[in-house]
Amino acid sequence: MKNLKKRLKNGEAVTGCWLNLGSSLTAEIVGQAGFDWVLIDLEHGAGSEKDVLAQLQALSNSPTAAIVRVESADRQRIHRVLDMGAEGVMCPRIYSAEEARAVASSLRYPPEGTRGVAKMVRATDFGKNFDAYYQEAKDNILGVVQIETVKALDQLDEIAALDGVDVLFIGPADLTMALGIFGQLDHPRFVEAVKATVAAAEKAGKATGILLFNTDDFTTYYDLGIRMIACGADATFVADGARRVAGILNQSKATFNPKDV
């Protein structure tokens, strides 16, 4: 484990990005780039659970912690990625404290939770280190729930107070859509929602997270109290790089090619 949960508890800012191509190669490249954490995306990403294993293996020798966003809060989906060795789980579109409580329970072994017990899995070095993993999992596995709905905003204090919920992570696109102000990140209703989420998290001794669309916004959200900050994705990095180089080459080509007549 790479101490991401402890770093957040200590108030440290940790930066990350999304992995949505389902590729172990881009996972390895991004894992060596200098991020504190990455999120393997099963909700909107191109990969499946089978691809998660290869990505986790690619990240294992990097300094970057691996979190997986499952496509739903179903207990079995959470168990699968934890057994593969995920260091945290993000659950999207939480609607209520009851749903968040079920997520937190799925992250923990009995008697504190409902996570299934399996020794011969990658997370425990296939049984070799099960006892240590079992004892330390509670302190190391990061539980992240996404605040993306109006109903979640109405229950922020209850969600943040849950043991096992470590981060309230704001999804700007879905939350602004839910608020009827899609993409308007400077709208007073969205700003108010962000501040309310941070306040609830701080009251409970928890962290807040957000996905940025622009790295220039880092200071704005840091100053609001957000400490788990992401920007970009492997698909974005590839697309931006490809377009930039293609644009330069096409500009150069136009200089030498005869003009159409």
Of 6, 44, 195, 244, which is the active-site residue?
44
**SS3 label, residue 256:** helix
Give the pair of three-digit tokens for residue 155. 């229950």
Distance CA(158)–CA(210), nearest Å, equals 20
CA distances from 200 to 44, 69, 105, 189 (A): 28, 22, 20, 16
Distance CA 41, CA 16 (A): 13
Closest C-alpha to 90, from 194, 24, 166 = 166
> Is 44 part of the annotated catalytic residue set?
yes
- What is the C-alpha to C-alpha distance for residues 257 and 220, in angstroms, rounded to an integer? 46
How far does Cα 94 stand from its chain's mean position? 14
E-assigned strands of 48-102?
65-69, 88-91
Asked if 148 and 188 count as a contact pair (C-beta separation under 8 A), the reply is: no
Q: What share of the chain is helix, strand, coil (3-state, %, to 5)?
A: 45, 15, 35
Q: Give the E-state strand segments of 20-126 in sequence order.
A: 37-41, 65-69, 88-91
Contact at 8 Å (CB) between 132 and 94? no
Which positions are annotated as active-site residues? 44
